Amino acid sequence: MRTVAIVEDEDGIRESVVFALEREGHAAAAYADGRLAWSAFDTALPDLAILDIGLPGMDGLELCRRLRARSEALPIVFLTSREEEFDRVLGLEIGADDYLCKPFSMRELMARVKALLRRASLSPPLSPVPGRGLSPGLSAGAADPATVTTAGDLTLDADRYAATWKGTAIRLTVTEFLLIESLARRPGHVKTRDQLLQAAYPHDTTASDRTIDSHVKRLRRKFQDVDATCDPIESVYGAGYRLRTGDR
């Protein structure tokens, strides 16, 4: 049984998440205050943390920073009221693994929890990446070929939700991984925003197509962080996006 912490000051959301976690067979640790949660984590870290951003005592951003300082491998999911709010979080590079915007689908949250716990259990030990600190590597010897998608210099392992570009690991959220994997299955073919929404949020009917544009923007930034010349996703005006078939 895995322990999942939910730190959320809205009673209804917190209680609903606890119920869903326990129904999925997890042990749930619930906190309404960020400082109280941090005090509890000082004794033992959970296997996964779900954090609201606006918390009393200590906000979710500071709590995430402290958790990430304790563990680079701990999966962290943010709940946010506004996508623009999370853009600021990413700008701070504090290391969240995924996020969902309120209102969110509980099925979608549980799917993210399952995926992140699976990634944590299957990922090899963290290895240093030159200039970028510790990053989860893609172990070529351990990967099941049936779950690996290769498109040019891009390699994706669906078991571990892990990605590499020219052999360098890129840390993607589960949502980003599902989106790029959908494009990589058919390089050069255009996927509409609706198709990408279905791939990235299969259980959530509340996500909007603007969400895809935000994810694509972040994906481009992450790829360019490891290779300044890399621009793998091409916008097709009025249609959607496709993965470039060349090496650009």
Digit-coded pLDDT (tens) for 195-239: 999 998 888 776 777 778 888 888 898 899 898 888 899 999 889
Residue after which a domain boundary falls, among 122, 143, 168 = 122
Residue after which a domain boundary falls, among 102, 122, 142 = 122
Containing structural domain, residue 166? 126-248
Q: Check whether residue 98 and residue 167 sit in a common domain.
A: no
Query: pLDDT tens digit string along 1-43?
Result: 899 999 999 999 999 999 999 999 999 999 999 999 999 998 8
Q: Check whether residue 74 and residue 89 sit in a common domain.
A: yes
Q: Check whether residue 113 and residue 140 sit in a common domain.
A: no
Q: Check whether residue 248 and residue 175 sit in a common domain.
A: yes
Domain harbouring 219, CATH code: 1.10.10.10
Domain harbouring 1, CATH code: 3.40.50.2300
* pLDDT reading at 140 higher than 60: no
Q: What is the mean pLDDT of residues 141-147?
A: 64
Q: How confident is the model at residue 86 (pLDDT cuts 50, 70, 90)?
A: low
What is the total count of domains within the chain? Answer: 2
Q: Check whether residue 164 and residue 231 sit in a common domain.
A: yes
Q: What is the mean pLDDT of residues 150-158?
A: 92
Q: Check whether residue 58 and residue 175 sit in a common domain.
A: no
Q: Check whether residue 113 and residue 173 sit in a common domain.
A: no
Would you state the pLDDT for residue 202? Answer: 84
Q: Check whether residue 110 and residue 76 sit in a common domain.
A: yes
Give the burial class of 155: count Cβ atoms within 10 A of its Cβ; 0-12 exposed, 13-18 middle, 19 or more buried. Answer: buried
Q: Which residue has the higher pLDDT, 161 or 128?
A: 161
pTM summary value: 0.78
Q: Check whether residue 118 and residue 133 sit in a common domain.
A: no
